[in-house]
Amino acid sequence: MNAIVRNAPFSLSRRSILKGAAASAGAFTLGFAVPFSEAEAQAGTPEINAWVVIHPDDRIIVRIARSEMGQGTLTGLAQLVAEELEADWSKVGWEYPTPGENLKRNRVWRNFSTGGSRGIRESHQYVREGGAAARIMLVQAAANAWNVPASECRAAKSVITHTPTGRSVTYGQVASAAAKLEPPKEVVLKPAKDWTIVGQSVKRLDTADKLNGKQVYGADIRLPGMLNAAIKACPVFGGKVASFDAAKVTGMRGVKKVVQIGPNAVAVIAETWWQAKTALDALPITWDNGPNVNASSETIAAMLHSGLEAEQAFEGNKAGDARAAIAGAAKKVEATYSYPFQNHACMEPMNATALWTPQKCEVWCPTQNGESALAAAIEASGLPAAQCDVHKVHLGGGFGRRGRSDYVTQAVLIAKEMPGIPVKLLWSREEDMLQGTYHPITTARMVGGLDKDGNLVGLHMRISGQSILAGVNPQALQNGRDPVVFQGLNPGGQEGPFGYGIPNLLIDHAMRNPHVPPGFWRGVNLNQNAIYVECFMDELAHAAGIDPLEFRRKLMKNAPKHLAVLEAVAKGIGWGAPAQPGTAKGLAQIMGFGSYVAAAAEVSVSNAGEIKVHRIVAATNPGHVVNPDQVAAQVEGSFVYGLSAAFHQECTVKGGRIVEENFDTYPALRMAEMPKVESILLPSGDFWGGVGEPTIAVAAPAVMNAIFAATGKRVRSLPLKNADLRRA
């Protein structure tokens, strides 16, 4: 029981779970590596297979390997399992298996990583197969009991009926017999047309506790005897701790210990977090700032600028001879765009709670990747893998930041200073802002050639700037090339195809990696690539004297899916019809994370230069929609995230460190600025794409194109707060 966080629909509240976790944590010498077997033996709850557990009272627990951080994947995955299980949805609950259990069971739940909008699109097949296999076993168990062929039995809504006689039995009644059967060798999945749970806007499974304060996030964890820690790492990236004067704060109320953590951080451990933070703020620390102390936004901009003209660049997409075509074109259009560093700014700052003894290490944390968190715990604890585990808790936002486990490493190193006592590490907002893994910084030079009729005959897109892979996973580079940079621009695949058929095309990347650590940030490289391409398409259309929609249409003859979402938003916003007085419209489309997205914006700009977004129409073709209401929620949320970034967010660099430390200097969009969002879902049913991220990428370019339409001023760098749009 202690190794899993349960949320069964009836009896167990999250609070009792954590109490249970706490109780067993206190008694950890009994051994914690018995999550399912022991717990289920006690509860009499049979596991039908890795994905499905059925209680005698018919409650169903679906195991969820991916992390829920607000995006609804938990409910969507449970729907997929329940569909094939022929479950009564009202009886479905869920639980997280631990990454340690996954390891022990030969990775039966496969990938825990939750990012890249992959939760559903990468696991729909095997989770549905899990549900189908469980159903077959339940039906077989009933058939065995009745001594009839399974082919005469039907399962629906958690009840198995013997069709010829009308006898019936519930899943709970046959679950323990089913659990003893051999799993089927082969399963056939239901065709989409027969779905009754998938495709429905069923209610999320995790809403109730978010309404009354009961939901336990990592920051809320309390274990018996637990201490709290606050931490400061050298704000200059690449710097170290030179010295600190612990004696100055060890006498402060509640303070237990002041410790250096790794080469670059100091932590204070105290009874409460507020005491720890107060002491840490009072602690004199001298930093050895290291080699990057002279880096600034200006030096980084110069570094990126050098890549715009560089000879050496990695190719991403190539057709014909773009340079020659542009040189011979009737008209040449050129523009340089740029995109800043940004912090994820999850609402809940980074945190992890760890308990370390010479025999074992346990961690409780919000993570987007339980297995990476476990790997971090194993390494930091110095213990064998079998003696470590991670208990996932709900995330107060992730957006890519919680795919990294730096805070888990820190928490375990801190806990090692207090053997046998659980310690919760919580970052302050300031620490969270200064120790991010930032949206990569890039700039792009766009050069296009138009013939005398305004046809685009050549396009060269030169991206210069940061590679995420070079920062986080250099082994994944391909002869130095980062393929992720070309998200949305590729000739094909899940992160393309590039929607425009341009006879002479060159998209290349001059890698320039500043010292600021990059990370996967919701929308990743699609964000800036969509701005660069879609704003420049708008520029080309205007240079050609052709309506921006018409200009795109001509180039998208071989990209019907791209065009379909674009046409849908154009229709939705009333493209071509006169705008409301004082407003103007803009369009953008892109393909990424396996899905096709487009947005149209209606914007006004006051004489004082204030931008107001009145209305957004968004269209998404994610192939399949598991829960339409949750997809709509992701689309709405994507505009908040994307417009926050577009309007307000920039992390600047001075003295080698990030300047912005909190929401006063790094604002987010608020309610008064939020436009209406109409979300159109156009699933074509022939593929599985992601929805958590792609729409973010079209938020900014649609608005930026509308700003041009409203003012005649082309904004080419973000955030928009830096743009001067005042009328003369």
Partner 1 sequence: MARLNVNGRVVEIDAPADTPLLWALREQAGLTGTKYGCGIAQCGACTVHIDGEAVRSCSITLEGVSENQKIVTIEGLSPDSSHPIQKAWLQLEVPQCGYCQSGMIMAAAALLAKTPKPTDAQIDEAMTNICRCGTYNRVRAGIKLAAGV
Q: Which CB atom, from 424 or from 445, has the smaller least distance to partner 1?
A: 424
At residue 191, φ and ψ (nearest 5 deg) are -70, 150
Task: Name the minimum Å distance from CB 721 to ligand FES.
Answer: 21
CB contact at 8 A, 567 and 355 = no
Chain CA centroid to CA 94, Å:
21
Identify which of 468, 466, 472 has the alpha carbon closest to the alpha carbon of residue 514: 466
Instruction: Please state the closest distance from residue 342 (CB atom) to partner 1, in A.
Output: 12
Instruction: Tell whether residue 240 is a contact of partner 1 (CB under 8 A).
Output: no
For partner 1, the closer CB: 395 or 544: 395
Q: Does 347 bind ligand FES (CB under 6 A)?
A: yes
CB of 674 to ligand FES, least distance (A): 13
Q: Which of 40, 95, 129, 220 binds partner 1 (CB under 8 A)?
A: 220
**Interface size with partner 1, residues (CB under 8 A):** 61
* 347 part of the interface to partner 1, by CB under 8 A: yes
CA gap 530, 536 in Å, rounded: 10
Give the chain's radius of gyration (CA, Å): 27
The backbone torsions φ and ψ at residue 395, rounded to the nearest 5 degrees and listed phi first, read -100, 135
Contact (Cβ atoms closer than 8 angstroms) between residue 179 and residue 47: yes
5 strand-pairing partners? 96
- Binding to ligand FES by residue 218, rule CB under 6 A? no
The DSSP letter of residue 365 is E
548 binds, among ligand FES, partner 1, none (CB under 5 to 8 A by kind): none
Q: Does 72 bind ligand FES (CB under 6 A)?
A: no
Q: Which is nearer to partner 1, 247 or 671 (CB)?
A: 671
Contacts of 107 (CB under 8 A, 6+ apart): none
Which of ligand FES, partner 1, none lies near 77, with the C-beta cut-off 5 to 8 A by kind? none
Task: Please identify the residue of the shown chain whose CB is closest to the bound ligand FES.
Answer: 347
Judged by CB under 8 A, the chain residues 173 through 202 that form the site for partner 1 are: none
Provide the 8-state DSSP code for 188: -
Residues 380-399 that bind ligand FES (CB under 6 A): 397
| Closer residue to partner 1 (CB): 71 or 513 | 71
- Taking CB under 8 A as the criterion, the residue among 157, 248, 253, 557 binding partner 1 is 253
For residue 677, what are the β-bridge partners? 616
Q: If DSSP codes are grouped into helix, strand and coil, which group holds residue 424?
A: strand
**247 touches, from ligand FES, partner 1, none (C-beta below 5 to 8 Å by class):** none
Measured CA to CA, the distance from residue 272 to residue 275 in angstroms comes to 5
Choosing from 38, 406, 451, 636, the residue that interacts with partner 1 (CB under 8 A) is 636
3-state per-residue secondary structure call for 461-517: EEEEECCHHHHHCHHHCECCECHHHHCCCCCCCCCCCCCCCCCEEEEEEEECCCCCC
Indicate which of partner 1, ligand FES, none lies near residue 222 (CB less than 5 to 8 Å, by partner kind). partner 1
Is 70 a binder of ligand FES (CB under 6 A)? yes
Min dist. Cβ of residue 179 to ligand FES (A): 38
To ligand FES, the closest distance from the beta carbon of 281 in angstroms equals: 16
Question: CB of 428 within 8 A of CB of 471?
Answer: no
Pattern of binders to partner 1 over 660-679, x per CB under 8 A? Answer: --xxx---xxxxx-x-xx--
Q: Does 414 interact with partner 1 (rule: CB under 8 A)?
A: no
Answer for the pair 690, 595: CB distance below 8 angstroms, yes or no: yes
Member of 212, 312, 479, 607 binding partner 1 (CB under 8 A) = 212
Taking alpha carbons only, the member of 123, 124, 140 closest to residue 183 is 140
**Cα separations in angstroms, 113 against 59, 98, 296, 553:** 27, 13, 34, 38
* Euclidean distance between CA atoms 363 and 388, whole angstroms: 8
DSSP 651: B
Query: In terms of CB distance, is 29 or 662 closer to ligand FES?
Result: 662
Q: Is 72 in the site for partner 1 (CB under 8 A)?
A: yes
Instruction: Find, among 456, 441, 452, the residue nearest to 525 by Cα.
Output: 441
CA distances from 567 to 59, 558, 599, 697, 710 (A): 45, 15, 10, 17, 21
DSSP designation for 239: -
499 binds partner 1 (CB under 8 A): no
Least distance to ligand FES, CB of residue 70, Å: 5
Q: Does 21 bind partner 1 (CB under 8 A)?
A: no
Number of chain residues interacting with ligand FES (CB under 6 A): 3
Q: What is the DSSP string of 581-639?
A: TT-EEEEEEEEETTEEEEEEEEEEE-TT--EEEEEEEEEEE-S--S-HHHHHHHHHHHH
Q: Which does 318 bind (CB under 5 to 8 A by kind): ligand FES, partner 1, none?
A: none
Question: What are residue 194's phi and psi, to 5 degrees?
Answer: -95, 0
Q: Give φ, ψ of 676 to 5 degrees.
A: -65, 140
608 binds, among partner 1, ligand FES, none (CB under 5 to 8 A by kind): none
Residues 382-401 that bind partner 1 (CB under 8 A): 394-399
Q: How far apart are CA 172 and CA 543, in angstroms?
A: 68
Contact set for partner 1, span 255-274 (CB under 8 A)? 272-274
Partner in contact with 207, chosen from ligand FES, partner 1, none, beta carbon below 5 to 8 Å by kind: partner 1
By a kind-dependent CB cut-off of 5 to 8 A, residue 640 interacts, out of partner 1, ligand FES, none, with partner 1
Our CB check for partner 1 shows the closer of 107 and 274 to be 274
Verify binding: residue 405, partner 1, rule CB under 8 A: no
Query: Is the CB of 457 or the CB of 669 nearer to partner 1?
Result: 669
219 or 544: CB nearest ligand FES: 219
Query: Does residue 665 touch ligand FES according to CB under 6 A?
Result: no
- Residue 178: both structure tokens together: 């089913």
Residue 148 as a binder of partner 1 (CB under 8 A): the answer is no
Smallest gap from residue 400 Cβ to partner 1 (A): 12
Instruction: State the binding partner of 119 from ligand FES, partner 1, none, CB within 5 to 8 A by kind.
Output: none
The 278-317 contact track toward ligand FES, x by CB under 6 A, reads ----------------------------------------
- Residue 650 site contact among partner 1, ligand FES, none (CB < 5 to 8 Å, cut-off depends on kind): none
Q: How far is 111 from 129, CA to CA, in rounded Å?
A: 16
Residue 668, binding choice from partner 1, ligand FES, none, Cβ under 5 to 8 Å by partner class: partner 1
Q: Are 80 and 132 in contact (CB under 8 A)?
A: no
606 binds partner 1 (CB under 8 A): no
Q: Edge-to-edge, what's the strand order for the sheet holding 456-465?
A: 314-319, 504-511, 456-465, 442-450, 331-339
Applying CB under 6 A, the residues found at the interface with ligand FES are 70, 347, 397
Applying CB under 8 A, the residues found at the interface with partner 1 are 69-72, 203-204, 206-217, 219-220, 222, 228, 253, 272-274, 345-349, 394-399, 426, 428-429, 629-630, 633, 636-641, 644, 662-664, 668-672, 674, 676-677
